[in-house]
Amino acid sequence: MYVGAVLGTGVIALPALAAEAAGPASLLAWLALVVLSAPLAATFAALGARYPDAGGVATYAMKAFGHRASAIVGWCFYLAVPPGAAAAALFGGAYVSAALGGGTTTTTVTATGLMIVVTAANALGLRVTGRLQFMLAGLLVTMLLVAVGLSLPKAESANLEPFAPHGWMAIAPAAALLVWSFAGWEAITHLAGEFRHPARDLPRAAAAAVVIVGGLYLLVAFAVITVLGDDASGSDAPLGDLMARGLGGDARYLAAGAALLLTMGAMNAYYAGAANLGAALGRDGALPVWFARGSVAGEVPRRSLALVSALSFLALFAVVLTGLGTKPLVLLTTGSFVAVYAIGVAAAVRLLPKGTKGRGSALCAIVAVVALLVMAGLYLLWPLAVAGAALLYLRLNRHRRPAEATAGDAPEPLLETTADGRESGS
């Protein structure tokens, strides 16, 4: 689930876009974001292991800063998923269109089909979703490794020169493009309550995901640059071009299959996380109580899932009908996730005990968050608007505010786990 949440549509298009912005020096942007991801993933894993709850980052914000902060981060995440899902579905649909033809019609029909499949899988329950995700992640990793492995013998070191054709400063805008590829380190926290042993399994999952995702991203980016050379810049289907070089002939159909797997994996994980979050927000008074059904571990939050799916279809058809394309969707999503990261890391610094590895990771993650905030720039205006809407909803529905959040919005006492597994206050 964790690999699928992060390893997604970034592999489809962004290696070529980053290469166009910074040339081979874009590899440094990829590497920098992999390094920044490690403390972020470790921080959210530590929070999820200590406080396994469907609310994820919203729950941590509640414990650290109170009900208002929880509602803000919950709304930011919840309303980031629909435009992100629409953009991801359109990325996958574009690969199918490149293989079969049909232009915008094929792209839109494919994107619609992806949304229907992912919604149905999640509606069947988390157990089905988890198995589907495991299958998709395995097939995806295998396909990427085969494509890279077969194409790398055709790599040429001459394609790495000049290394920074647009100057070293071009690495920053390339990194800004790649933020989309690394959103997702917080997604697994919403599913922490479904783990049999979250304190043990979440840190393992986070470590494995950083290694797998970071390694695959770097391999694909390196292969795209060294194998495709100048053809990498501006390519609409860099993964398809890479497969064609490695496998010979026309590999558009195989690339379309890979794109569908990537897209479905990312959408599947985010639909599951957002559906659980919406139910938790309904339970806690940040959304209407009608959405609260499904907030208990093991239940399926179908009402929240229905809203996520409906908003995703709305975003999809809005950009298709207006012809705006996916760029606005990507930037709105990125701004929201950066805001979620900032609040989540701040909560971790306050909640996690001093001297623990988790708190050390949170302190390191502050550097990553500051860098991401700089990259987001003006697109932070969107999460600011969402925050204002969340606070307005709370004000208009003060009677629904949970009692446990009213006593000064004080954070809950921290719990220390002793050697025999018992918890003690601190």
Domains of the chain in sequence order: 2-395 (1.20.1740.10)
Residue pair 274/55 in contact (Cβ under 8 Å)? The answer is no
Q: Identify which of 244, 240, 222 has the alpha carbon closest to the alpha carbon of residue 157.
A: 222
Share of the chain above pLDDT 70, in %: 85
What does the longest C-alpha to C-alpha distance in the chain come to? Answer: 67
Residues 164 and 225: beta-carbon distance below 8 Å: no
pLDDT band of 112, cuts 50, 70, 90: very high
pLDDT of residue 257: 82
Kindly state the average pLDDT of the residues 174-182.
79
- Average pLDDT for the chain: 80
Is residue 171 left, alpha or beta, with left meaning phi > 0 and alpha meaning psi from -120 to 50?
A: alpha
| pTM for the full predicted model | 0.76
pLDDT tens, residue by residue, 280-307: 888 878 888 888 887 666 677 888 899 9
Beta bridge partners of 424: 416
Q: Is a pLDDT exceeding 90 seen at residue 155?
A: no
Please report the pLDDT score of residue 278 as a whole number: 86
The average pLDDT across 19-42 equals 88
DSSP per-residue letters across 273-296: HHHHHHHHHHHHTSS-GGGGTT-S
Q: Which is nearest to 139 in space by CA: 232, 298, 4?
A: 4
Cβ–Cβ under 8 Å, residues 209 and 6: yes
Where is average pLDDT lowest: 187-201, 365-379, 408-422?
408-422
Most confident of 245-249, 312-316, 390-394: 312-316
Would you list the DSSP string of 201-249?
HHHHHHHHHHHHHHHHHHHHHHHHHHHHGGGGTT-S-HHHHHHHHHH-S
Mean pLDDT of 339-360: 87
Asked whether residue 311 carries a pLDDT value surpassing 90, the answer given is yes
Could you read off the pLDDT of 353-395 as tens digits, one per residue? 887 887 888 888 898 888 888 877 788 888 999 999 999 988 8
Cβ atoms of residues 285 and 20 within 8 Å: no
113 burial (CB, 10 Å; 0-12 / 13-18 / 19+) is: middle
**Average pLDDT, integer, range 151-161:** 85
Cα-atom radius of gyration of the chain, to the nearest Å?
21
**More confidently predicted of 410 and 183:** 183
pLDDT of residue 287: 84
Both ends of the chain: CA-CA distance in Å?
33
